Structure 1
Amino acid sequence: MRSIESPFRAAEALEDGALTFRELRRFHRAIHPGVWAPRGVELSLHQRASAAWLWSNRAGVLAGLSASAMLGTKWIDDDIDVELTFGSRRPPPGLVVHGDVLACGETQTVHGMAVTTAARTAFDLGRRLGVDDGVLRIDALMNATGVQVDDVEAVIARHPGVRGMRRLREVLALVDGGAESPYESKTRMLLLRAGFPPLETQIQVFDEHGSVFARIDMGWRQWRVGVDFEGAHHWSEPRQRSWDIERFARLPELGWNDVRLTSGILHNRPQSFLDRVGAALISRGCPKTW
């Protein structure tokens, strides 16, 4: 039995002589009709996406979160259902098939498989997901690929009247590729929905010599008020913790009022966080709009 890239189409492997029918049944398991993989091997999301594409006889196009993962987006769980744009309406378990029409230029090849482009992927995610999840997912996609809202607008122009357009518009009004984690996206949405002025993300802070000293996750350069979300690594990694201590000691010296936030505060005491941000902005002369 020769080494076979997993997953694979059983008929092709048998025809090529890469394994016998007995070897197929003994050492492998069916993932989808006609598509097999070694027994006892837990498939990654990319491998499951490949299995889905092979199930479509290489005619489908990976879409939605599956496409987003193939394009390098973070924060996507391995156990999600694989999404395909394909003609079949009766996919096997673990697959979600969409019957959308893809215009010319809305697909690309990644690792040998057809995948929707970043702009088309954002278009689909914004229509199909809830507003909050759509913002989080498109923020991450934008951060990974550099796709812009204008690119998504070009896709919208090619598909007038498609379902979910109102939701997509609401999502696009909130997205920002500067978010480097889902929690940063959630923080930004919390602030915007509370009525605070639009934020800038990944703000560079310069020291007295004109060199970049730090980046602030988000904030308002005009009033020099920033917001930083502290993930677990800020507490668990000694080097990061030491840098944080120096960073937050220096930011006030450079004229910045930086409000720090953790997941516990975001989930359990969001109003106290909003109050601190509001007080910081008012102290710097920002007109109250919230």
Structure 2
Amino acid sequence: MAGFQTAARLHGFGAAPSAQVHVIVPAGSGVPKIQGVAAHEAVLPVSTVVEISGVPCAPAARSAVDLARVLRRMDALPLLDLSLRAGACSRDELLAEVALHARLRGVRQARRLTELADPRAECRQESQLRLLLIDGGLPAPEPQLWVPDQDGVHIYRLDLGYREQRVGVEYDGRSHLDPDRLHHDRSRLNWLAANGWRMRHFTATDLYRRPQHILATLRPLLLAP
């Protein structure tokens, strides 16, 4: 049956692309060597097989937890977030699946990341930025935080935010270079600043090459008396 990255893609949360087709084979049956195919011997039996477009697959929760055990943390959390956002599985299903993987390699990572998974995350970089802040010892930010006006009407939404401290954290990708987007962002930032919000923006260079800069920038805003 399809498993790991291939099953995740079929279930609609293929956040960990792979050039190979990943399949799960029964324990003790031998792992076939086929070009372009990554075969994984099932240490843990797959209780239910799901058919998607005629392809037998491991269930969504099983595929997500299998990947959360073996991927890097920064790749695993975006996948778990997307599995929830896509509706492929629920948090309860993920937690139940993690319990079945007790004592398997990587299960501690999978358990911790499942507890952090959030369907509100809208892109890979938002998930990674959130994990960076948590791993760096900062409070967990709220994804897609809505900021209301004085009448309680939602005005703007932040990638990540700390409501009590009025600190917003945003990932600026290429879409932010669009002229219309720049005009909108300027008006948005002016309104947020006028209403007491301190916004900090970071790019791919910050996230992947100088993560300590992100932590050093936010730590005084969040942990100062």
The TM-score with structure 1 as length reference comes to 0.67
Tell me the distance in 1 between the aligned counterparts of 2:176 and 2:206: 15
* Residues 253 and 109 of structure 1, relative CA distance in 2, 3 Å threshold: farther
Change (3 A) 1:164 1:281: closer
Corresponding residue to 1:239 among 165, 180, 183: 180
CA distance change for structure 1 residues 263 and 222 in 2, over 3 Å: closer, same or farther? same
Q: What is aligned with 2:117?
A: 175
SS at match of 2:86: helix
The residue type equivalent to 1:63 in the other structure is G
C-alpha change, 1:268 and 1:97, in structure 2 (3 Å) is: closer
In the alignment, does 2:52 pair up with 1:110?
yes
2:78 maps to 1:139: no
Contact in 2 for aligned 1:142/1:177 (Cα 8 Å): yes
Two-structure CA RMSD over aligned residues (Å): 2.3
User: CA contact under 8 A between 1:131 and 1:170: conserved in structure 2?
Assistant: no
* Shift, 1:196, TM fit: 0.6
Deviation for aligned residue 1:159: 4.7
- Offset at residue 118 of structure 1 (A): 2.2
Structure 1's 67 and 103: CA in aligned 2 closer, same or farther, altered over 3 A?
Answer: same
Matches within 5 A, 1:57-136: 61-73=1-13, 75-77=15-17, 80-87=19-26, 89-100=31-42, 101-104=45-48, 107-136=49-78
CA contact (8 A) 1:146 1:177 kept: no
Residue of structure 1 equivalent to 2:219: 278
Give the match for residue 190 of structure 1. Answer: 132
Q: CA deviation at 1:74?
A: 5.2
Deviation digits for residues 77-128 of structure 1, max 9, x if unmatched? 4x52111123451141111122321113xx4232232222221111111122
Q: Which runs of 5+ in 1 are unaligned?
A: 1-60
Supply the AA of the counterpart residue of 1:262. T
1:149-164 equivalences under 5 Å are 149-164=91-106
CA contact (8 A) 2:14 2:79 kept: no
Alpha-carbon distance in structure 1 between the residues aligned to 2:188 and 2:9? 33
Which structure exhibits the higher relative contact order, with contacts defined as CA atoms closer than 8 Å and separated by 6 or more residues? 2
2:194 aligned with 1:253: yes
- Separation of aligned partners in 2, 1:215 and 1:187: 17
CA distance in 1, matches of 2:210, 2:149: 33
CA contact (8 A) 2:173 2:204 kept: yes
Q: Report the AA paired with residue 154 of structure 1.
A: A
* Secondary structure of the structure 2 residue equivalent to 1:151: helix
Shift of 1:75: 4.2
SS of the aligned residue for 1:201 comes to: strand
CA contact (8 A) 2:16 2:75 kept: no
- Is 1:266 the counterpart of 2:210? The answer is no
Amino acid of the residue matched to residue 5 of structure 2? Answer: L
TM-score (norm 2): 0.85
1:184-239 Cα deviation digits (max 9, x unpaired): 1221122112211122111111123432212111121122211011111111x222
CA 1:202 to 1:210, structure 2 compared with 1: closer, same or farther past 3 Å? same
2:12, 2:88 within 8 Å by CA — same for their partners in 1? no
1:146 CA drift (Å): 5.9
Alpha-carbon distance, 1:76 to partner: 4.4
Q: How many residues are paired up?
A: 220
Aligned residues with identical type, % of pairs: 30
SS of 2:113's equivalent in the other structure is helix
Range that drifts further, 169-178 or 186-195: 169-178
